[in-house]
Structure 1
Amino acid sequence: MTDAPTRPVWQGRTLAFLGIVLVAFSLRSAVASLSPILAEIEADFTVPAWILGLIGAAPPICFAVFGIVTPALERRFGLERLAAAAMIVAAAAMVGRALASDALLLLLGTAVLFAAIGVGNVVLPPLIKKYFPDRSGSMTALYSALLAVAAFVPPLVAVPVADAAGWRFSLGLWAVFALAAIVPWVAMVVRAPRQARRPAGESRAPEAGDEVDEPAPQVLGRLARVPLAWALAVTFAISSASVYVCFAWLPVVLVDVADVDQAAAGALLSLFGAMGLPWSVLVPMAVTRWNRIGVVYAVALVAGVSGVAGLVLAPTAATVLWVVLLGVPQGLFPGVLVLIQRRSRTHEGAVALSSFTQSVGYAIAALFPLAFAVLHESTGGWTAPLTLLGALFLFTIPAGYVVTRTGTVEDEWQRRTGRTW
């Protein structure tokens, strides 16, 4: 297969570029904007720990569920319509949870929001594949970088905005980006019929309605029998679980054990989110150029366990360092994105491996924010929940062993079953 010829990023696809950028920013900004202002919210109504646990679990649960549901919706409505619909629902849910009058409505708004973002999370990679086949690497790097930026900007500004204009405005202002993301995709859907009427043979950029290949259902089923697929899913779960636990609970933990105020806790959560930015560049290089996959796993393990140990044993001694170390395992996320391509030989295998890894990984990750809440409620402290997080990082050892010693999922399937992929 020959690579698609490279052309200017704006040529015939300006709307697609803008839509992808705005959707990518919206995917993470809503996750990180709530926990820094919980104190302001609880001044209006009580938010029990179990509700906080469910709110923290909402993103990975929705991402796991809609990782399975979205392909069927995509085949029925198309990528562009689905992206526009997801952002419409996300914007409405952001405004809705900002107007919540009690904890249950806050939870409901959050669940609807992340259902919509779960759809956006799934459609974005095929949108990149469809409109930027010649720049898939750079667009994926941009996508990862935008997720990191959207993770550290909201916590940085959430508390100051809440102090100045109230927590409802602080929570709802991120709907602006989702509303902006609607415009390019609606414009592309509207103009698609006109593009379809172009004379036959006239060259054009990809448009709404063009198909993107989906893996056959039986291919997804095969991966459950391949240890490599489970190793990548566990790796994805470790990264996702640590991120969503920290987005949900880190500011509360820091206020309780590190003697920092709400504004400082929000700034530290922003620092945690910012740690994803350098790793989105360094980890793909470590994997693709230097083949240092084991090093990536080892660094994530040592840093993650050290950060947890610091918060348990000496939380006030070097709080900034502990938060930085906790942010290092985020590097597993871009690592998995790259490894999905390097541990598959066929396009069908890559798409199936991506779907399996994300669905299973998010399903596992969803357990941890809620388990964090249960352990805190039952013990009255943070040592047991933080120890659980530290134990999670230990699973990088078996996962890293399998990933570094295995070829592709197709080869592994053939070796185990004696049948071709």
Structure 2
Amino acid sequence: MDNQSSHDSMMAGMASEETWTRNHPDVRGPAAGGGAGGGEATPKSSTRAWTTRLVVAGILLSALNLRPAITSLGALLEEVRDGLGMSGSVAGLLTSVPPLCFAVFGVMAPRLARRFGAAAVVCAGMAAIAAGLLVRPYTGGTPGFLAASALALMGIAVSNVLMPVIVKRWFPDRVGSMTGAYSMALALGTSTAAAVTVPMTDALGGHWQSGLAVWAALAAAAVLPWLPVLRDRGAGAGREGTGATAHGEAQAPALRITRSRTAWALAVFFGLQATAAYITMGWMAQIFRDAGVPAGTAGLLLAVTMVMGVPLAFVIPRLATRLPHQGPIAVALGVCGLIGYAGLYAAPASGAWAWAVLLGISNCAFPLALTMVGMRARSGPGVAQLSAFAQSTGYLISIPGPLLVGVLYQHSGGWGQPIVLMVALMIPQMAVGWLAGRDRTVEEEAAAR
């Protein structure tokens, strides 16, 4: 996913945080008692421990909210199109909005964090998600629906970028375990929204507006743990927002990242896998419904695809780090995608569960991309710069794909041409994945040219 799930850029700092923590074992964040005053009195330590628990709750609840705005809409896309009089092309535009917002608003997150603190920005992001999800079903037209969706996606974008920063600042010695918990929560939120949106809509009277708006309650709940953290400024609510500057990365010599062929290969790989993921989240349920699969079952099939990322997000990075060349993994994931697309083309209903599983495996190119970001640079600053380049460029590359699927679907009247497009995009994804997986670093390539 989904795992895409991360993030502004979706989960942009995950690999760099791991590398930086390993290279700086002496760092201590708020959770380690690293307050300005050194030795802590027992009452203050107790307060700090309680605040740390709130941060854990905030991280997990926030991660749950990073994809339901997208997958809940995918499950009800037909009802939304009918209710708003939306054409297939406009629906394709709607499925292209998430990567656009992630590329545009995610860039703002580090600057906002330096000014207000990462916890404050994530808290505001959860509030923006809640407001956007609550308002968008009742705007009365497509422009208002798109604007409210953009508000929610803006909150997701800044949270995607900053939550790994919070993990590293509060849990410097447990970055791996906290990131694993964060990834599982993100995948759980993604798959749950896909699975239960349709039956929950039926339980609420069958109105698609209610089925979409109900997810605002989960986002509102994610605001609550952050509020006490914001009051505890001395415990790090401002300090953990300093991001790369606190790590000395802002003062590091700039790497000419665009001189690296591996960096470009990784950026294109990230963009093409994100394209496949957003096409899947936005359109796969509709493909099954058009093939005669009931709406509730189509939502469950999408959930199966999304939930595949929960176990594989742990397996794939561990396997990748043990291999000198990660290209074979990228090719294997691509082959699963090609088989899944062929099944959607030839027998979408009869083999639906198999195609959902195969496409779920294929979509796990996202954790592979994040892992390769961490392996293709030698230093923490290099990883951070490569991550920013690969993900910002990749999200821009991913914008046209879902829109083009909508246009092809509307003008051809079926799913044949869109599925051919998906196959055509998967082939170069496998090729650039092979190139990005070679055992070399961007620093070496940038210095050699």
- Alignment TM-score, normalising by the size of structure 2: 0.84
CA contact (8 A) 2:272 2:425 kept: yes
Q: What is the aligned partner in structure 1 of residue 276 from structure 2?
A: 242
SS at match of 1:47: coil
Question: In the alignment, is residue 208 of structure 1 matched against residue 238 of structure 2?
Answer: yes
CA contact (8 A) 1:94 1:172 kept: yes
CA contact (8 A) 1:219 1:352 kept: no
Unaligned runs of 5+ in 1: 196-204, 417-421
Alpha-carbon distance, 1:160 to partner: 0.8
1:265-292 deviation digits (Å, cap 9, x = unpaired): 1111111111211211110111123556
Alpha-carbon distance, 1:260 to partner: 0.8
Match for 2:209 among 157, 164, 168? 168
Question: In the alignment, is residue 154 of structure 1 matched against residue 193 of structure 2?
Answer: yes
Alpha-carbon distance, 1:387 to partner: 1.0
Question: In the alignment, is residue 116 of structure 1 matched against residue 155 of structure 2?
Answer: yes
1:382-397 mapped onto 2 (5 Å cutoff): 382-397=415-430
Alpha-carbon distance, 1:5 to partner: 8.1
1:352-399 deviation digits (Å, cap 9, x = unpaired): 111112111111111111011111122222111111111111123332
Q: Which shows bigger deviation, 406-415 or 302-311?
A: 406-415
Separation in structure 1 between the aligned mates of residue 173 and residue 26 of structure 2, nearest angstrom? 5
Alpha-carbon distance, 1:78 to partner: 1.9
CA contact (8 A) 2:324 2:439 kept: no
Match for 1:365 among 382, 386, 398? 398
Question: In the alignment, is residue 230 of structure 1 matched against residue 230 of structure 2?
Answer: no
Q: Which shows bigger deviation, 96-105 or 360-369?
A: 96-105
Alpha-carbon spacing, 1:217–1:52, altered in 2? closer, same or farther (3 Å):
farther
Paired letter, 1:243: A
Separation in structure 2 between the aligned mates of residue 395 and residue 43 of structure 1, nearest angstrom? 35
Alpha-carbon distance, 1:154 to partner: 0.8
1:195-221 deviation digits (Å, cap 9, x = unpaired): 2xxxxxxxxx64433432245499677
CA contact (8 A) 1:15 1:188 kept: yes
Q: What is the aligned partner in structure 2 of residue 407 from structure 1?
A: 440
CA contact (8 A) 1:228 1:406 kept: no
Q: Which shows bigger deviation, 68-77 or 87-96?
A: 68-77
Q: What is the aligned partner in structure 1 of residue 310 from structure 2?
A: 277
Alpha-carbon spacing, 1:5–1:208, altered in 2? closer, same or farther (3 Å):
closer
Alpha-carbon spacing, 1:403–1:219, altered in 2? closer, same or farther (3 Å):
farther
Q: What is the aligned partner in structure 2 of residue 72 from structure 1?
A: 111
**Aligned-residue RMSD, C-alpha:** 2.3
CA contact (8 A) 1:220 1:356 kept: no
1:35-184 mapped onto 2 (5 Å cutoff): 35-42=74-81, 44-165=83-204, 166-184=207-225
Unaligned runs of 5+ in 2: 1-22, 34-47
SS at match of 2:256: helix
Q: What is the aligned partner in structure 2 of residue 298 from structure 1?
A: 331
Q: Which shows bigger deviation, 298-307 or 228-237?
A: 228-237
Separation in structure 2 between the aligned mates of residue 404 and residue 145 of structure 1, nearest angstrom? 25
Separation in structure 2 between the aligned mates of residue 221 and residue 56 of structure 1, nearest angstrom? 34
Alpha-carbon spacing, 1:42–1:66, altered in 2? closer, same or farther (3 Å):
closer
CA contact (8 A) 2:126 2:156 kept: yes
Alpha-carbon distance, 1:333 to partner: 1.0
Alpha-carbon spacing, 1:39–1:206, altered in 2? closer, same or farther (3 Å):
same
Match for 1:190 among 231, 242, 251? 231
Separation in structure 2 between the aligned mates of residue 405 and residue 143 of structure 1, nearest angstrom? 29
CA contact (8 A) 2:191 2:306 kept: yes
Alpha-carbon distance, 1:108 to partner: 1.8
Q: What is the aligned partner in structure 2 of residue 200 from structure 1?
A: none
Match for 2:364 among 327, 331, 337? 331
Question: In the alignment, is residue 18 of structure 1 matched against residue 57 of structure 2?
Answer: yes
- Identity rate, percent: 34
SS at match of 2:178: helix
CA contact (8 A) 2:374 2:383 kept: yes
Alpha-carbon distance, 1:169 to partner: 2.1
Alpha-carbon distance, 1:4 to partner: 4.9
